[in-house]
Amino acid sequence: MTSWNIELGKIISMSITVLVVLLLLFKSQKIKQGNILFIIGYSLFSFIDIFCFFYYKYTQSPTDIFYIIGFLLFVFMIYHLYYFQLLYIRSLRKIQLVIISLFIANIFFQLILNDTSLKHFSFNWLYINTLTIFFSIVLFLYQTFNSNKILQINNYLPFWISIALLILFIGSIPISFLRHSVPEQIYFLILFILNSISNIIIIRGIVCHKQNCWR
């Protein structure tokens, strides 16, 4: 059996993310109006991922600091603000503010109590961030399924973005627990599959945004 080519998979994933960024930026002005924070967060994460790939390839230097500051801090913060922006029910916005406060508190907790928090990527930190973004998405989905948006759910981009993020973040938790127990090729293959499914869902949402794609 031929082993999975990790570098090729990474290049394919980066190419797909670039495509998604281009679609988000140029597909429609209406997409940018309500999803600008997601576009910023997704574009930032894509840039960090691509930069770190080439940075490590040509310098063989650790890239943890870029993922910690860029991904764990800024990208997740932007995503939390994105869901706060989407929420219009006052009680849900208050809960989202609490979630954001817990997210920020965890940042200080990690920085103060862990001397290596900016040196080594912490999966525990990632798990906590994933948990907070999960609850943010749950609040948004609760609002969506109890509103008129449910009637046009197929054309509602934030819904598909939420499904994509759930698959990517929640789906990656089990395999991250087993990252030291499974072969490296299997680990990165599963991440590649999760990332591809997530991006395909986002592309589907972009293409079908504000139009009945099923007709």
User: pLDDT, tens digit, for every residue of 78-91?
Assistant: 999 999 999 999 99
Residue 49 falls within a domain, yes or no? Answer: yes
Q: Give CA separation, 138 vs 17, 78, 92, 169, in Å.
A: 25, 17, 10, 14
What is the residue range of 203's domain? 6-208
DSSP class per residue in 130-174: HHHHHHHHHHHHHHHHTSGGGGGGGG-HHHHHHHHHIIIIIHHHH
pTM across the whole model: 0.92
pLDDT digits (tens, 9 = 90+) for 42-83: 999 999 999 999 999 999 999 999 999 999 999 999 999 999
**Tokens 């080594």 correspond to what residue?**
120
Residue 19 falls within a domain, yes or no? Answer: yes
Query: pLDDT averaged over the chain?
Result: 91
CA 140, CA 129: separation in Å to the nearest integer?
A: 17
In the chain, the number of structural domains is 1
Residue 158 falls within a domain, yes or no? Answer: yes
* pLDDT (0 to 100) of residue 213: 40
Q: Using an 8 Å Cβ cutoff, are 104 and 160 in contact?
A: no
Residue 213 falls within a domain, yes or no? Answer: no
Residue 214 falls within a domain, yes or no? Answer: no
Residue 33 falls within a domain, yes or no? Answer: yes
Residue 215 falls within a domain, yes or no? Answer: no
pLDDT digits (tens, 9 = 90+) for 19-30: 999 999 887 677
Residue 68 falls within a domain, yes or no? Answer: yes
